[in-house]
Structure 1
Amino acid sequence: MSLCLLAGLVQTGCSTAAKAVDQAHISGQQRDFDKQTGILRKHMQELQARGDPLGDYYYALANSDGWIHDVTDPKAITALFEKAAAKGSMDAKILLALQVAMDEPIPGQLDDGQGPGRDLAQWERGLAQLLPLLQQQCSARRLVLDMGKPRVRHYSIAYKVWPTFRDGYYRYNSGGSRTLLRDPDRQKVWESIHRSCPIPQNEWLYE
């Protein structure tokens, strides 16, 4: 056998072995992900079985986040939140109001930076809905994997709003120009809600 052919076989063997190792690693990661999200799903389903609207909210948010793929159409996902809100979920009501303010296609997106769209009337409508809700419940919950482990995470929703009043946002004028708007007084209102919002930590979920 020529040295060239032998070298080719060795290289091919190493490549095949490396691919097998990579596939095994990916497969192991997928199994672990499925196991951990299974714990999240079990927690959600137990709440639903008890008739707790929090379970319906978690189901809506899981579809919005994409770790459950039962529903993918934005309008249908929004309808899931509306269903949970109608059953009494304050978390769902909060994220629906936030969706209006931020002009987002679906509620949720809690890890994304958000701000008002071009329609400032919609921004104001959303904030008018959101403010009284946050005065009752200042945070929204989310099922997440934190360092690969399942937990309930709480988000201070006013933090999505007050930096906008501090940093400024644009009003688009009819002539094509735009005006930077800031509002220190409204910043104080929303920042106060954020600063006084208790955020539970270490709410881990187990099998």
Structure 2
Amino acid sequence: MDARGDHAAICRHGFGVVHRHNTVRNLLARHAFRAAGLCCDLEVPSLLPNTANRPADILVQPASPPSGALPDRPTAYDVTVRSPYCRSTMSLAAKGLAGAAEAADLDKLRVHSRTVRDAFHLQPDSPLPLLDWHFVPLAFDTLGATSSRTMAVLEYLAHRIANRTYSSYGTAKIRLLQRISFAVWSSLASATLSRMPYHGAALSSPAQV
């Protein structure tokens, strides 16, 4: 039995990893971006030509620009939740609190660059073309840490939420981080429980109790 849920946090069999990703994605869309007054859509297709890749777990439209300013481009946020117990990130996680999240952030940027070059049939060392949207990874780890880039986005959203709800920035930030932590941990609990014997099924005989 995976008593501490470590294997459940990294196993790609079953629904655990996908369920955790979708849970965090949906929470961010509802309680972060939309709560901050930003319009967003999930899993938007056809952002890149010649590929079925969907770089935007959450595609967020820019806030209204100041009077006389040109509108910004939408931002494609790509959500990832990485366990620090993965073999590929364990050594990085040991060096710093957010090592796994920072590694996931860089991995997402590398994959995005490669995907864009492939979509436009560019050489590996060619500069990336200017797209109609920004790309930003949102990287978390299963112990609650985030990449520095992700934390900057969350702090920006907390400021907007605080202004909209007439609450303090500190309160808005804490509540947002608590929601994310709960989403990650509840999905981990579900993945762990799904691997327990007889989970979700009645015992067939009293002798098995």
* Normalised-by-shorter TM-score class: under 0.3
User: Rg: which structure is higher?
Assistant: 1
Give the number of the structure with larger relative contact order, counting CA–CA contacts within 8 Å between residues 6 or more apart: 2
- Per the normalisation by structure 2, the TM-score is 0.24
- Per the normalisation by structure 1, the TM-score is 0.24
